[in-house]
Amino acid sequence: METPHISRQFAHVRTWVFDLDNTLYPPEARLFDQIDRRMNDYVMRTLGVTRAEADRMRSEYWHAHGTTLAGLIAHHGVDPEPYLVEMHDIAFDALSPDPDLAARIGDLPGRRIVYTNGSRPYAERVLAARGLTGLFDAIYGVEHADYMPKPQRAAYEAIFAMDGCDPTTGAMFEDDPRNLAVPHGMGMRTVHVAPVPLVADHIHHHTDDLPGFLAQLLP
């Protein structure tokens, strides 16, 4: 349970960094079911492997490289731009606007940015479906870090330098706990957004209710 004065722990924050998938929308939307199928189809078609092998490679590359795309680039020289367009050509019917979340994000003082391992055009479509368009000062995709994904430190460094973000006055909201380790090491306040909490030294807070959590941060 959070302390009654949790807002004090965020009083220094000037930049609010939000992951996109399963963070700014609930995991029950299961958008990645669609994306995973597209990845498997792409790997089967491009590399000439079976569906089972494509599924294995997709998972292995995600664990080893941060994203399946990073593994495909490293091992097979895949062109990332058409890949990202194909992967993100999905339906967004499972998403709906969240006025409460929009209001809470809009209340945050300072700079608000989205940083995703997806692409910026994809992020813009997700934000539109969630009623969050216009609330963020910047949207960064994996392309802005030369296709290096979280959790690689160089990826965070590239994005934060591009944005002018001082990590020591930043907070990071993420569903994937491994993507909070580097931000924690850089001095950020870290928030794990997920149905089930994970106790780890690099996670300061957990929430399964992002609007409710954000509402606590204003004094």
Domain ranges for the chain: 6-25+96-215, 31-87
CATH architecture of 6-25+96-215: 3-Layer(aba) Sandwich (3.40)
Q: Is the pLDDT of residue 219 over 80?
A: no
CB atoms within 10 A of CB 127: 22
Q: Is the pLDDT of residue 90 over 70?
A: yes
Average pLDDT over residues 140-153: 97
Average pLDDT over residues 202-216: 97
- The residue ranking higher by pLDDT, 3 or 183, is 183
Q: Is the pLDDT of residue 27 over 80?
A: yes
- Residues 39-77 pLDDT 10s: 999 999 999 999 999 999 999 999 999 899 999 999 999
Topology of domain 31-87 in CATH is: DNA polymerase; domain 1 (1.10.150)
Question: pLDDT exceeding 90 applies to what percent of the chain?
Answer: 96
